[in-house]
Structures are given as structure tokens and as C-alpha cells.
Amino acid sequence: MIVIRKVGEMTSLTEKLSDRSIGFVPTMGALHKGHLSLVKKSSSENDVTVVSIFVNPTQFNDPKDFERYPREVEHDLDLLKQVDVDYVFLPNRTEIYPQEDKQHYELGEISSKMEGAFRPGHFNGVASVVKRLFEIVQPKRAYFGLKDFQQFRIIQNLNANFNLGVDVIGCETVRDDDGLAFSSRNRLLSKEDRELALNLSKALLLMAENSTSMNHSELEDLGKHYLTNYPEIEVEYVKVVDPESFDHPSKKAEKGKRLALLAAKVGKVRLIDNMKI
């Protein structure tokens, strides 16, 4: 495993690897089993796997959230040595943004909903860094966890709109034994708050269990009502959508063809989760 910190070194490498398939896993570090599952999938489908670690400042609409975001680079590198990674791209801010990216990215109506509404500018920052990384690494395939399902759809739109030519692959959410979706932010939770956070996936499971007998608005109300039992959880949204359009699903949508999404603050930590229902 070779660590590369300079954009010039990375682009030179990708030119030399032009006859080999590159799989790419972009991350913000604080790695967990979900990230490692993406790495393993990339390694199984490509000649070379590159993992990037970069906490992207442009996708944080709250500077305090950016400062709090966990940074554990040495631990991350130790984890990556245990799986089949060829290169780790570990740039600093000036390498990724030698000049400020002032572009407004057209990402479709989906970018103004849910996460887009609660985190103004977030998806533009995601688009900025992903486009930049794709141009540097030149991957054939890139792997993203579907816990951030809306982000995944945004990146698909970005890839298509800018003809980046990458096969954007979504991988199922990995959960801990108790059902909590793995997230880098989980390590910011106290023991008590982690117990509270389990109710997010429980709310989604409750909605899934009732998906054949309720329409989307009834399911949303069910999830919200369940979470009112835990006033310590600050719910931002509970939504049921069509996973393609992100509009309300049709009344005839089959079980498993709707997507329930939620966002909430547990303590000072903002968490998101989703589930097909």
C-alpha cells in the first residue's frame, strides 16, 4: 500500500495505469466496516484500488461540524493495510483546491430536497470535490455507500451531466449487530446517545413492517410518532419517496419499491439513515 499526497503524483500514476481498471473509494476518513466493504468490492472488480481520505470543507454548511468531524488518519491507514488497497490518496486542502471552486453545479431537483433543504450548499460542495477527485484519479468505477442514498443519486447526476465516464456503484448500508448504520459520526456519540440512536433504524423497520397497509404519508406519520417517544432526539425529517424521482411514490408502489429516509440530531451529532420499504 502506497500513500500519495500530491495531485501531480496521483495523476502521473493514473497515466501509467491507463491500461488497467482503477476502482476508487472516496472517503473523509474515520473509516469503519462500511468503508472496508466498499474497498473489498472494489478490489474484487478492478485491477487497482485507490482510496482517498480528505475531509472536504466545502460540503459542510456548519463550520463547527467541520471542526468536530473525526480525523484518525493513522488508524485509517492501519485499517486499510488489512484489506487489498494499492494506493491511498491523502491530499491536503490546497492540493484539492489550489483555487476556490466558485462553480454552481446543476444537480437536478433532487438537490433541493431533504439534505439539500437542511444543509444549504452541501451538495454543491459534494459535487465540487467528487468531480475534482474523479478527474485526478480517473477511475473506471467508484463506490459509494447507500446510507447516503441522496448523495449517491446526486453523484450519479454529476457523473452524467459532466460526462465524467465513471461507473458509479452504490453498495448496501452496513449495520452493526444492533442495527445502527455504520457512520464515521457514530464515534462522536456518547454511550447513552448511541443507545438513543438505535431508535432511528427501529423507526425505519417499523415503517417497513407496515409498508403494505399504509400510504407514504401514513408511513411518515408512523415513523415520526414513534420517534416522539424519545424527545431527546431532534428529528429533522422523516420521508417516504420514490428512490428514482425522490417524489411521493405512487399508491401502487410495491413493497421494497419505496425508500424511507430520516435525519435527526442525537445529542450534538447529526445522523441520517434510510431503508427500502
Task: Please give the full DSSP string across 43-90, using - where no structure is assigned.
Answer: HHH-SEEEEEE---GGG-SSHHHHHHS---HHHHHHHHTTS--SEEE-
- Residues 166, 258: one domain? no
Please give the Cα distance from 171 to 88 (Å, whole number): 20
- To the nearest 10 degrees (0 to 180), the angle between helices 122-137 and 149-161 is 60
CA distances from 200 to 24, 80, 266 (A): 30, 29, 10
In which domain, by residue range, is 232 found? Answer: 184-276
Domain count, the chain: 2
Q: Each residue of 99-148: pLDDT tens digit?
A: 999 999 999 999 999 999 999 999 999 999 999 999 999 999 999 999 99
Reference 133, options 142, 145, 124; nearest CA is 142
Please give the Cα distance from 118 to 5 (Å, whole number): 33
In-domain check, residue 9: yes
Domain end marker among 139, 171, 203: 171
The reply to whether 35 belongs to the active site is yes
Domain end marker among 171, 197, 227: 171
In-domain check, residue 177: no
- Residues 107, 163: one domain? yes
**Looking at the predicted structure, is the pLDDT value of residue 253 above 80?**
no
> 32, 35, 122, 216: which one is catalytic?
35
Cα of first residue to Cα of last residue in the chain, in angstroms, is: 40
**Looking at the predicted structure, is the pLDDT value of residue 156 above 80?**
yes
In-domain check, residue 32: yes
Element holding 38 (H helix, E strand): helix 33-45
- Residues 189, 150: one domain? no
**The whole model's pTM is what?**
0.95
- Residues 164, 202: one domain? no
- Residues 73, 141: one domain? yes
Q: In sequence order, which residues have a C-beta less than 8 Å from that of residue 231 and are 6 or more positions away? A: none
- Residues 167, 112: one domain? yes
- Residues 194, 240: one domain? yes
> Residue 49 is part of a domain; what is its CATH number?
3.40.50.620
Domain end marker among 171, 198, 220: 171
Backbone angles phi, psi at 114, to 5 degrees: 45, -105
> Residue 254 is part of a domain; what is its CATH number?
3.30.1300.10
Please give the Cα distance from 203 to 207 (Å, whole number): 6
- Residues 145, 83: one domain? yes
- Residues 64, 157: one domain? yes
- Residues 69, 192: one domain? no
Please give the Cα distance from 265 to 56 (Å, whole number): 21
Amino acid 121: pLDDT: 94
CA distances from 224 to 173, 248, 254, 276 (A): 22, 17, 22, 17
Q: Each residue of 157-211: pLDDT tens digit?
A: 999 999 999 999 999 999 999 999 999 999 999 999 999 999 999 999 999 999 9
